[in-house]
Amino acid sequence: MELGDVDAERIQERVSRGRVDLDGHLCCWKASNGSDVWHFNLYDKYKVPRRPGNRDYGYTSSPLALEKWLIIEVGDNEGCLMAFDKRTGQLRWVSQSKSPAGHNGGPAPMLVEGVPCAAVQNHDGLLVVRLDRGQEGKTVATYPWETSFANNIASASVHQNYVLLTSSYNHHKIAKLQIRLDGAKKLWEREEASGVCTPLVFEGHVYWAWRNLVCLDFETGETKWRGGRIGDPGSCVATTDGRLIVWSDQGDLTLVDTVRRSPDRYRELASRKGLGRSDAWPHVVLCEGRLYCKDRSGRLICLGL
pLDDT at 151: 82
Does residue 43 fall inside a structural domain?
A: no
Domain span at 228? 196-305
pLDDT at 22: 61
Q: What is the pTM of this model?
A: 0.90
Of 277, 239, 275, the residue nearest 256 (C-alpha): 239
pLDDT per position as a tens digit, 31-82: 999 899 999 999 999 989 888 877 888 898 899 999 999 999 999 999 999 9
Tell me, what CATH number does 226's domain have? 2.40.128.630
pLDDT at 17: 44
- Residues of the chain with confidence (pLDDT) below 50: 1-20
Does residue 10 fall inside a structural domain?
A: no
pLDDT at 21: 53
Rg (CA), the chain: 20
| CB distance 215 to 205 below 8 Å | yes
The number of domains in the chain is: 1
Does residue 234 fall inside a structural domain?
A: yes
| CB distance 80 to 45 below 8 Å | no
- Beta-ladder partners of 304: 290
Does residue 88 fall inside a structural domain?
A: no
